[in-house]
Amino acid sequence: MKNKYYSLEHAFNTEADFPLHLETMIKDVLYKAYNDTPSIYPSIVNEVQSSTNKERYMGITGSLDLAPLEPLEEYSDASLSESGLDIYNHKYGKTISFPWELIEDDIRNVFVDIPAKFGKGYKTTIDRAVIDVITNTSHYSAARGNLVQTNTTFGYDGIVEAYDLFSEMRGQDGEFINLAPDTLLIHPTMEWTAYEIFAKERTILTQPTRGASAEMTGSTVIENPLIGRFKILTSPYLPNKTAWYLFKAKDGMVHQKRKDLEIFTTTPNAQQMRERDEYTIKARTRFGIGMIDYHYHTYSPGT
């Protein structure tokens, strides 16, 4: 017959494996909260597996020309550039300690609520790291051709301006990158504005002549050409509520997965729990986030 426990303290005092059972329960709660917490980073970055302290990303110079037709012609050189970008993997961790009083007072919910909170926190840690990189203003400038300057306010004209920047964007080799953005990142407070911008129909003002001084005399309703062009993502971690970002997802940023989230107890037996007067769980992960090519991202500071 299985032992019956009437309290956490009773279980602790009657079974030597109680700390390991508690670890299993906390792991289940924490992992579930981690997996259930929504995140946007998978839609933004390209995930790669890393096996070392850092990864180096090299640029390529020279265009990829068609193979020559003449037998004596040589292929043009497309060599690796001498400069590269190193992205380091960093450790993120937290120790979760449950004082002896919680076990003595039989406060069961604490062993569910606290791990669930940390599980959610670890998931949002990756989102925050991605946002920190993508909102780094040093990635954007007029010289780089990825900064919206005229129509900075989040609106139809601003999005068109950002979209047009891609048509002039050149890669490290000086060649046109020849791609279109597919993702828009905004603060949640701008979401309702986005609904208006991407409405099915758009009203434009009309005028009788092309003269700059001519008065607008009416309006025309047309189908909105922006419908369905971009995936719209929102994040409360954007430092500027009016700033917005239009980019080609996964082509310019990486998420280096060095070590998945792992959870283990540092007090695996009852004796150590008594010595420390607490039960302790440690959770940690290791990863790196970086922008490997700014040509795939545009930014507007908003208003």
Q: Residue ranges of the domains in the chain?
A: 8-52+83-303
Pairing mode of beta strands 54-60, 80-88: antiparallel
Within 8 A by CB and 6+ apart from 121, the residues are: 94
The pLDDT of residue 65 is 47
Closest to 187 in 3D by CA, of 148, 235, 139: 235
pLDDT in tens, 55-114: 988 764 444 444 444 555 554 444 445 457 899 999 999 888 888 787 777 666 788 888
Which residues pair with residue 87 across a beta bridge?
A: 55
pLDDT in tens, 181-205: 999 999 999 999 998 888 766 665 5
Distance CA 55, CA 71 (A): 40
Distance CA 279, CA 111 (A): 10
Mean pLDDT (the chain, rounded)? 82
Angle at 298 between CA 236 and CA 221, to 5 degrees: 85
Cα-based torsion angle of the residue sequence 145, 151, 153, 155 in order, rounded to the nearest 10 degrees: -100
- The label of the residue with tokens 């709660």 reads 29
Residue 223 in this model has a pLDDT that exceeds 80:
no
Domain 8-52+83-303 annotated CATH 3.90.1690: yes
Residue 210, classed as helix, strand or coil, is coil
pLDDT in tens, 257-300: 999 999 988 887 777 877 888 888 899 999 999 999 899 999 99
pLDDT in tens, 33-59: 999 999 999 999 999 999 999 998 876
CB neighbourhood size of 156 (10 A): 17
Residue 119 in this model has a pLDDT that exceeds 50:
yes
Residue 142 in this model has a pLDDT that exceeds 50:
yes
Dump the DSSP string for 231-269: EEEE-TT-SSTT-EEEE-TTTSEEEEEEEEEEEEES--S
